[in-house]
Chain A
Amino acid sequence: MNAQIEIQIILSLVAIACAIPGVFLVLRKMSLISDAISHSILPGIVVGFFITQDLASPLLILMATLTGVVTVVLVEYIQKTGLVKEDTAIGLVFPSLFSIGVILISRNAGDVHLDVDAVLLGEVAFAPFDRWMWNETDMGPKSLWMMGTVLLLILTLLLLFYKELKVATFDAGLAASMGFVPMAIHYGLMTVASITTVGAFDAIGAVLVVAFMIVPAACIYLLTDNLKKLLIYSSVLAVVCSLVGYWFASVWDTSIAGTIASVLGLVFFIIYLTAPGKGYFSQWYKEKQQKTEVALLVFLLHLANHDEEQERNINHLQEHINWGAQRAKKVLKLANQNNMIAIENDIISLTNKGLDFTKQAIAYISDNKNSELEGVKQRFFLFRG
């Protein structure tokens, strides 16, 4: 296997291993905790490295994972005091732990081959050089094995506890009443997020782990309303972005992890703009349509309220409802097209259909709780486009 392929396999493993717990972090509105974990594992990594001198050793992973879980516990403890809100608690905990790591590294900089840059930014390009030799046999890069193990662990846990994760994330109260112990599930997820971060920092750096966890989930969240699809497509998107980013980085000779994270950011921006339903353009269009619908309703209501002919003259429409000529024309056209109005000698009057619609629409607006008026909502859509 050549180094390029090895790097791409490692990146794909990292991508999926991050995307899966990331989905649950996003759904639980805990995205920031991944940022906290990614920084505060530093002291764990440093101490582990002093002891083992090996970034892929299980002891180091264990210690760093523990630091990650400790971060979560501390954040929650501070939050529970009620003195500060969650974001402040996060801001209090992780810089403290992170700075302990920085001091440890700078105190011992001469003795160890570990620096803050390596931990924060990682360098997957070096991953193929650090190989696992077993009885003189080359078993491949250590980080490939490590990430493979982490991913296998994540997939196993996901398959076993999918149902529990889902119910505890959606409705912790129900989960608790059924005996699923949401607290245990919460800390399980936090532990998995920590293990993933620790496993991935060597390849892509602790900080960019956050991008791998949050961005794919945030992208697909705009596109689907199915949890399984959210998990699968987030993983696929994460892998595709990793590979695309890798090749851009190779061509441009830039940081691999940095380029991948940029690709992820760009993809999110595109999806945010174009996502059907939740995206920017879609929302903008919907708002515009709603404006037109309201205008139409105002117009119809005006007609229903006034018997006087001068109030209903097509040429005086503008001054009476106080609209610009274009808007008035548009609304008039829309109402006419849908047979809501009839025009005779420049006098506009409501047709029976128009009258009926106006009545229902008013009833719906004044009591939008009535489920029997659900049909009116649908008929509003008739006017779109």
Chain B
Amino acid sequence: MKQKIAIAVDDLTVAYNYKPVLWDIDLQIPEGVLMAIVGPNGAGKSTLLKSILNIIKPLAGSVSVYGKSYKKQRSLVAYVPQKGSVDWDFPTTALDVVMMGTYGALGWMKRPGINEKKQALEALEKVGMLPFQNRQISQLSGGQQQRIFLARALVQNAAIYFMDEPFQGVDATTEKAIIQILKELRKAGKTVVVVHHDLQTVPEYFDWVTFLNVKKIATGPVADIFNDDNLTKTYGINYKTSIVQ
């Protein structure tokens, strides 16, 4: 079975102050996979997402989304940044944050209307946050905030979803709810890329995995490449999947 390539990263190098964070990354993400990006701290996982999304300018290399540049394919992509990257004291409500997911499709200067609100409410319901729609966002728990972020991505109604550590600081119930929704997205043919920390849950949650540590170590189906060898190459120490699992 030949799968369509959703994201192709070619020879991508990114540097902060001339220190390479990502080095010559070649990566192809097939359509319809639920993929984890794993690697130690400072491996460049978030940077990889941000470079794919054109938030960071690479030093060299290129990224394409379904064969075209990101700029042309923006509407196909939804992004959930790390929860800690925003100020949760910002004066706004859960519903309003989810509405922001519609801004991209609206484009410059157009205002969200009834239609956008309807989409946002639907997404809130999907993540089980409808009763909290008018809650100020600082009054939500960490898990609820992450659900709001997921709802915002759902509203973007994209083909490819990028999520930066969606399970960080969330309770077990929320983690289950989120992975449930991600699996539904995959079933609907969407591609989901998740920066992930918890190696234990990789085989249970994901069907595709990329090992990253400045360089790409390996990428492919979890069943084929999630093994001691690749874990050791990525994390440096003698990792055993048997221990991890």
Contact = CB atoms under 8 A, between A and B. Distances in A.
Given A163-B106, A227-B92, A372 B173 contact: yes
Interface in A197-253: 221, 224-227, 229-230
A369 B142 contact: yes
Interface stretch (A113-121, A171-179, A305-313, A315-323): A171-179
Interface residues of B, number: 40
Contact of A160 (B81, B106, B109, B173): B109
A167 interface: yes
A171 B100 contact: yes
A223 B157 CA distance: 35
A179 B103 CA distance: 10
A162 B50 CA distance: 25
Given A169-B90, A177-B79, A371 B104 contact: no
Contact of A176 (B55, B93, B110, B141): B55
Nearest to B53: A177
B55 A177 contact: yes
Contact of B141 (A161, A173, A180, A374): A374
B71 interface: yes
Contacts of B53: 173, 176-177
Nearest to B147: A371
Contacts of B81: 171, 173-174
Please indicate which of the listed interface residues A170, A177, A225, A229 has the most CB atoms of chain B within 10 Å of its own CB: A177
Contacts of A371: 141, 143-144, 171, 173-174
Nearest to A163: B103
B91 interface: yes
Contacts of B92: 166, 170, 225-227
A179 B74 contact: yes
Contact of A167 (B85, B93, B100): B100
Contact of A163 (B91, B111, B173, B174): B111
A173 B112 CA distance: 20
Given A176-B54, A179-B74, A369-B170, A230 B144 contact: no
A2 interface: no
Given A177-B55, A227-B92, A161 B109 contact: yes
Contacts of A167: 100, 103
Contacts of B93: 225-226
Contacts of B143: 369, 371
Nearest to B17: A82
Contacts of B77: 177
Given A163-B111, A225-B136, A370-B172, A174 B100 contact: yes
B50 to A, nearest CB: 7
A226 B134 CA distance: 10
9 contacts: A27-B91, A171-B86, A173-B53, A176-B53, A177-B55, A180-B108, A225-B93, A370-B173, A371-B174
Interface of A: 27, 29, 82, 160-164, 166-167, 169-171, 173-180, 221, 224-227, 229-230, 369-372, 374
Given A163-B110, A170-B86, A221-B91, 16 more contacts: A27-B91, A161-B109, A163-B111, A170-B87, A170-B90, A173-B85, A176-B54, A177-B54, A178-B74, A178-B104, A227-B91, A369-B142, A369-B143, A369-B171, A371-B171, A371-B173
